A and B are shown apart, each in its own frame.
Chain A
Amino acid sequence: MWTKLANPGFFMRWSARLLPWFAGATALAFAIGLYMTFFTVPPDYQQGETVRIMYVHVPSAWLAMFLYSLMSASAIGTLVWRHPLADVSQKAAAPIGAAFTLVCLITGALWGRPMWGTYWVWDARLTSVLVLFLIYCGIMALWRAIDDPNRAARAVAILTLAGFLNLPIIKFSVDWWNTLHQPASVLRIGGPAIHPSMLYPLLVMALAFSLLAIVMHAYGMRTEIMRRRVRTLNILEAERLDRRAAA
Chain B
Amino acid sequence: MVDQYANFIIASYVAVILIIGGLGLAMILDQRAQKRALAELEARGSTRRAKEAS
Contacts and interface: CB of A to CB of B under 8 A. Distances in A.
Contacts of A48: 3, 5
Contacts of B12: 53, 56-57, 106-107, 110-111
A229 interface: yes
Nearest to A106: B15
Nearest to B10: A110
Interface string A99-126: 1101100110011011000000000000
A48 B3 CA distance: 9
Contacts, number: 89
Interface string A192-230: 000000000000000000001000100110110011011
A243 interface: yes
Interface residues of B, number: 31
Binding site secondary structure of chain A? helix
Contact of B50 (A50, A53, A96, A236): A236
Contact of A227 (B3, B5, B11, B34): B34
A151 interface: no
Contacts of A234: 41, 46
Contact of B19 (A57, A102, A226, A232): A102
Contacts of B27: 216, 219-220, 223
A154 B2 CA distance: 53
A233 interface: yes
Interface string B31-45: 100110110011010
B9 A99 contact: no
Contacts of B31: 219, 222-223, 226
A237 B46 contact: yes
A53 B3 CA distance: 13
Contacts of A99: 19-20, 23
Interface of B: 3-6, 8-9, 11-13, 15-16, 19-20, 23-24, 27, 30-31, 34-35, 37-38, 41-42, 44, 46-48, 50-51, 54
8 contacts: A49-B3, A106-B19, A107-B15, A227-B34, A230-B38, A234-B41, A240-B50, A243-B54
> Which 7 A-B residue pairings sit nearest by Cβ, starting from the closest?
A226-B34, A49-B3, A223-B31, A237-B46, A107-B12, A233-B41, A230-B37
